[in-house]
Amino acid sequence: MYDATSDPYCYPGTAVLKNYPGHLRQLELDAFEAASTMQRADEPLPNGRLSVRHYRAIHRHLFQDVYPFAGRFRTVRLAKDGTAFCYPEHIAREMRALFIDLALKRYFRNTTADAFSDMASEFLATLNAIHPFREGNGRTQTLFLALLADQAGHPLDLDRLVPEAFLTAMVQSFAGDLEPLTRQVRGLVSS
């Protein structure tokens, strides 16, 4: 659960995000969101150039049936377990800088699997710290990573992803320790 101050994304008096079906209970919303996003993830993802616009289109694709804010950067400050993510007023700038750097690094093409894992974990750690969306950052990051890996010639086997271990590694990367995340990414690379 996220900590957000003055959250216009939630129904008044609740911590439940406003959603298209109008679910007012978190368990109902969670079940609907899981089913909807799994169905959308099985569909072809939007085409793009691994840019900020493409990243936003992926989020929109996944969450279009669930949230009105699908594909839009958040406008509230967010924290998880007392740790603040990028302030909303800086998201667009930080996303541009991150994706310009990704392009300058040629999307990690022509790298070894180990070099790809190092570079991808650094990219993911920064992307996670920016946390551009109100909800759905992790799922969007995972699908984008898979696209990036495919284009870099290092396809991922997402069946090997252990969500708890990956989440723990993401938290450690937020604290500056990239090694666990690099190991997680390397464990997914099928080459």
Q: Does the pLDDT value for residue 4 go beyond 80?
A: no
**Do the beta carbons of residue 32 and residue 63 sit within 8 Å?**
no
**For 152-171, what is each residue's pLDDT tens digit?**
999 999 999 999 999 999 99
Q: Does the pLDDT value for residue 9 go beyond 70?
A: yes
Determine the 3-state secondary structure of 78 from DSSP: strand
pLDDT at residue number 137: 97
The dihedral sign for the CA sequence 3, 70, 136, 141: negative
**For 131-144, what is each residue's pLDDT tens digit?**
999 999 999 999 99
pLDDT at residue number 2: 52
Q: What average pLDDT does the structure give for the chain?
A: 95
Q: Which domain holds residue 172?
A: 3-188
pLDDT at residue number 190: 87
User: What's the number of domains the chain is made of?
Assistant: 1
Q: What is the CATH number of the domain that holds 134?
A: 1.10.3290.10
Name the pTM for this structure: 0.94
